[in-house]
Structure 1
Amino acid sequence: MSGTDRKVSAKKDSQLVLRLDRGERDAFVELCRELDTSAAREIRRFIRGFMNDHTAE
């Protein structure tokens, strides 16, 4: 499936810039690759979970 075949729930139009140790970043990206996911996807998943855990309903 190509990137154009995927449905996108909402257009992503913002960026978050992080400063990380290069070795830590590279290890994270490599682990994501080994797990067949992307670093961006995992960071988005973390942010959504964090917000769900810490937002009053």
Structure 2
Amino acid sequence: MSKTDASAADMVKAKSKQKVKDKAKRKSKKDSQLVLRLDKEERDAFVELCKDLDTSAAREIRRFIRDFMREHEED
């Protein structure tokens, strides 16, 4: 294995380890659920729109909650 191949392999390993750490960190923060009911058609349209925008429904709902809370926090 050449020196370049070895350093490239080391970079891949480092990135892989970082992804695992990042995923564990994100997962540990989300330990609660919010259940809501809505029409199937509305839910499906929302999920499809999120896919089209390359995001997830959960991510957008979490973003809405954070923005809503920031907007309504007491000064």
* TM-score (ref. length: structure 1): 0.85
What is the CA distance between 1:48 and its match in structure 2? 0.1
Structure (1/2) with the larger helix percentage: 2
- Choose 1 or 2 for highest CA Rg: 2
Q: Relative CO higher for 1 or 2, CA cutoff 8 Å, sep ≥ 6?
A: 1
Other structure's SS at 1:5 match: helix
What is the CA distance between 1:37 and its match in structure 2? 0.1
How many equivalent residue pairs? 56
* TM-score (ref. length: structure 2): 0.65
Residue identity (%)? 68
- For structure 1, the residue ranges without an aligned partner over 5 or more in a row are none
Question: Which of 41, 44, 47 is the aligned partner of 1:29?
Answer: 47
AA in 2 matched with 1:11: K
Alignment RMSD: 2.4
What is the CA distance between 1:9 and its match in structure 2? 8.1
Moved over 3 A (4+): none
- For structure 2, the residue ranges without an aligned partner over 5 or more in a row are 1-14
What is the CA distance between 1:56 and its match in structure 2? 0.9
